[in-house]
Structure 1
């Protein structure tokens, strides 16, 4: 996956100092995740099922 070919989005909750996470949709329904401060460094790729598990965890407060 070439990072340059992805369309990256920042959360609307992000501040103006580029201190946030960016997400890009993948063709298989998964997501690519990267640190906006370091866009050229490797990020994280989650398949569709992994992404759904992650989102459920966030909604249940497992990461906060």
Structure 2
């Protein structure tokens, strides 16, 4: 037999702790990816807007 009592829940508790830890890691990965995608989208909008302003500037120079 084992040295543990019949009411020993250490296996269950360690499984719950591992599951909670992996849940936190999963949510951290989801949040990190979402933040990264938002930053990339904002950077793309800024670059496209700068390109648009550059084209408008070139158009204004060609009208002179």
Shorter-chain TM-score tier? under 0.3
> Which of the pair has more CA radius of gyration?
2
TM-score normalised by L of structure 2: 0.25
User: Which one has the bigger helix percentage?
Assistant: 2
Decide which structure has greater strand share: 1
Q: Which structure is richer in relative contact order (CA contacts within 8 A, separation 6 or more)? A: 1
TM-score, with structure 1 as normaliser: 0.25
